[in-house]
């Protein structure tokens, strides 16, 4: 048995309680490099607590919809940003915290060129590409301590 969860286009305001949508939206904050480059400056709330920032590369198998969501996780000690290395959409699943457990998840699909940053402690599905090559830069906390808490749903969701 599963529960259905509809994926919708990601909305910056709806996502704000969970994280940041990182994109070249509107005019750049600065024009740099002799006018050849626009800078959309400081677009995510990064938080690494007592650790440090790390950049890792993830190559994840693309998934297809409907996607079976069995687990969400959270990183209590730091934020985590998913930055696709190709201009393709990916699936982002987050959930509110309800008394230390995830509430009803929300599923979003990004636009090509968008990246996301999950705020510290946000319940989320693991990195979920929808298209090859599934290559992402991930900016998250490097440091001591247990920075991973998982929650396995008794009844999985079918994300479509």
Ligand X SMILES: NC(=O)N[C@@H](O)C(=O)O
Look at residue 127 and give the partner it binds from Ni ion, ligand X, none, a contact being a CB closer than 5 to 8 Å depending on partner kind: ligand X
* Nearest CB to ligand X, comparing residues 80 and 117: 80
Q: Are the C-beta atoms of 111 and 10 separated by less than 8 Å? A: yes
Q: How far is the CB of 46 from ligand X (least distance, A)?
A: 15
Q: Which of 94, 127, 139, 159 touches ligand X (CB under 6 A)? A: 127
23 binds, among Ni ion, ligand X, none (CB under 5 to 8 A by kind): none
- The reply to whether 126 sits near ligand X by the rule CB under 6 A is yes
> Of 54, 106, 39, 48, whose CA–CA distance to 77 is shortest?
48
* Among the listed residues 49, 33, 32, the one whose alpha carbon sits nearest the alpha carbon of residue 41: 32
**Span near ligand X by CB under 6 A; candidates 11-19, 40-48, 85-93, 121-129:** 121-129
Question: Where on the phi/psi map is residue 134: left (φ > 0), alpha (ψ -120 to 50), or beta?
Answer: left
Q: What is the full DSSP assignment across 55-107?
A: EEEEE-----SSEEEEEEEE-TT--EEEEESSS--EEEEEE-EETTEE-S-EE
- Where along the sequence are the contacts to Ni ion (CB under 5 A)? 80
| Binding residues for ligand X restricted to 58-77, rule: CB under 6 A | 73
**Sites of contact with ligand X (CB under 6 A):** 73, 80, 124, 126-127
């Amino acid at each position: 048995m599963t529960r259905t969860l509809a994926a919708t286009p990601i909305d910056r305001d709806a996502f704000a309680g969970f994280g940041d949508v990182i994109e070249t939206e509107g005019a750049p904050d600065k024009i740099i490099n002799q006018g050849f480059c626009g800078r959309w400056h400081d677009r995510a709330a990064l938080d690494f607590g007592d650790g440090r920032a790390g950049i890792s590369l993830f190559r994840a198998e693309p998934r297809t919809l409907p996607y079976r969501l069995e687990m969400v996780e959270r990183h209590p000690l730091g934020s985590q940003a998913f930055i696709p290395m190709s201009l393709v959409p990916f699936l982002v699943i987050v959930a509110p915290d309800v008394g230390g457990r995830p509430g009803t998840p929300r599923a979003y699909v990004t636009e090509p060129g968008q990246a996301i940053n999950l705020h510290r402690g946000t319940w989320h599905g693991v990195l979920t590409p929808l298209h090859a090559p599934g290559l992402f830069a991930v900016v998250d906390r490097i440091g001591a301590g247990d920075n991973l808490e998982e929650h396995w749903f008794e009844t999985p969701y079918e994300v479509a």
